[in-house]
Amino acid sequence: MEALNQDPSDAWTSALESWKDHLALERGLSERTLEGYGRDLAKLREWALGRNLHWSAIDPSRIAAFLASLADAGLGPRSIARARSASANFFGYLLREGDVEEDPLAEQPVPKAGRPLPRILSIEEALALLATPTEDAPLAARDGALLELLYATGMRVSEAVGLSLSHWHPTEGLVRVAGKGGKERIVPVGDISIARLERWIHTHRPSLSPRCDKLLVNHRGDALSRVSAWAILNKHAWTAGLQDDDRTGKKGGHRIHPHVLRHSFATHLLQGGADLRAVQEMLGHSSVTTTEIYTHLDISTLREIHATCHPRARAR
């Protein structure tokens, strides 16, 4: 390896090239993996050169300062964890080559990546999506009813397509949802959503000659499938300009899927001032942790919170 009195910029360039050659030739890593490592190490190189530091000057306190700078710059735990991993790999290589006497990351804890935050729509985006289906034809009205139901109640798509008419109680402003594990919950529905769903049920649904008791049916009058519900949402998300993946199905694109509406339902309620316990009740969370921590709220309380906080039911 080059002398330690080499210009820091040249020293970093030379050391990184040697390291990447090692990764490619001796460890056989792919070009894509090498590019990822290179991007992550570029952050450390840029930080060090901004302080005129040779790679040999990176010690535990400086690597800690570097990782802290990433957090200050707004990088998430996963990005910081990647930068740390690449740095550890680089200094591990230098240690094995005898170019450094210690690994500056040996005592540096690995940051927890945590779970990524779910994607949500803004209230404006959600309302634009709901406005996309027209009500001038039965299937268009059905599409609107599906989107309305998902956003108004936070249902899972499987719960929405499995919803029976007997579980729909517009007079009371409620819907009875059969959730996971056979557990049932009651969810309030706002006036705007009730009116739209009632138009679908009484004006358009009969023209499809329904052969089942499900609220949502397909063009043959049978129950709408989960796959069809995904396709309907995908279609209208594209029309509303909310879908920005490349339609190839590859990772990296941002797709609007039914759970995005469920997350948006919960987030918009919380933004509107809803109590977290009420949102838990309406979502039907059933994990042991959830059921032990969050107390039960009666339906009158849930109805009041929904009417006050949900964008489709919020008191004007």
Judge contact between 160 and 146, C-beta under 8 A.
yes
Q: Measure the CA–CA gap between 308 and 315, rounded to whole angstroms.
A: 5
List the catalytic residue out of 45, 156, 205, 303. 156
Judge contact between 128 and 264, C-beta under 8 A.
no
Q: Measure the CA–CA gap between 123 and 12, rounded to whole angstroms.
A: 48
Is 156 catalytic? The answer is yes
Q: Measure the CA–CA gap between 298 and 8, rounded to whole angstroms.
A: 66
- Comparing CA positions, the residue from 202, 150, 140, 194 lying closest to residue 168 is 194
Q: Which residue type is seen at 35?
A: E
Q: Measure the CA–CA gap between 199 and 33, rounded to whole angstroms.
A: 54
Is 180 catalytic? The answer is yes
Q: Is 225 left (phi over 0), alpha (psi -120 to 50) or beta?
A: beta
| 230 exposure class (CB count in 10 Å sphere: 0-12, 13-18, 19+) | middle
List the catalytic residue out of 185, 205, 262, 310. 262
214: three-class secondary structure by DSSP: strand
Polymer length in residues for the chain = 316
Is 285 catalytic? The answer is yes
Q: Measure the CA–CA gap between 81 and 28, rounded to whole angstroms.
A: 23
List the catalytic residue out of 22, 259, 263, 277. 259
Judge contact between 34 and 23, C-beta under 8 A.
yes
Is 259 catalytic? The answer is yes
- Cβ count near 254 (within 10 Å): 10
Is 294 catalytic? The answer is yes
List the catalytic residue out of 51, 112, 169, 180. 180
Q: Measure the CA–CA gap between 179 and 159, rounded to whole angstroms.
A: 6
- Comparing CA positions, the residue from 152, 134, 151 lying closest to residue 143 is 134
Q: Which residues belong to the active site? A: 156, 180, 259, 262, 285, 294
